[in-house]
Amino acid sequence: MISNILFQFVRSAVQEQMQRIQQQQQATSQVMDTIKSYVPMVQASWIGGDADAFAADVARKIIPAITQLIAAIAGINLNLVSATEIVDKADSECTSMVNELANTFGSII
């Protein structure tokens, strides 16, 4: 017998992945905070043009790149929420159509 389930949305699996993605976002934020905290420590012990260049590179290159990564990770979860809403809407519409069809057949029989 052919299964009557053509597509099964496993909400718990999607939610689990969303939680894992959120954890990665938080971990990345913590890494960024740690990197930011190192700059003053390095500047306190490292004097000269290289120290200033290091601080500038962190502020100009590393922090913006990490910020973009955090935003991209957040975007993944936003897209998963959107996809979940689309599946829920499609499921609701299909259920409605099946119920209408059942009512039509019920009135014929």
pLDDT in tens, 14-40: 889 999 999 999 999 999 999 999 988
Query: What range does the domain containing 79 cover?
Result: 21-108
Query: What is the structure's pLDDT at 7?
Result: 58
Query: Residue 45 falls within a domain, yes or no?
Result: yes
Query: Residue 12 falls within a domain, yes or no?
Result: no
Q: Kindly give the parts of the chain with pLDDT less than 50.
A: 1-3
Residue 24's Cβ-side half-sphere holds a number of Cα atoms within 13 Å equal to 16
Query: Residue 9 falls within a domain, yes or no?
Result: no
Burial class (CB in 10 A: 0-12, 13-18, 19+), 53: exposed
- Number of structural domains (the chain) is 1
Query: Residue 10 falls within a domain, yes or no?
Result: no
Query: Residue 27 falls within a domain, yes or no?
Result: yes
Query: What is the structure's pLDDT at 5?
Result: 56
Angle subtended at Cα 90 by Cα 6 and Cα 102, rounded to the nearest 5 degrees = 75
In single-letter form, the type of residue at position 68 comes to: Q
Tokens at 65, concatenated = 């790149």
Query: Residue 16 falls within a domain, yes or no?
Result: no
Judged by DSSP in three states, 48 sits in coil
Model confidence, pTM: 0.72
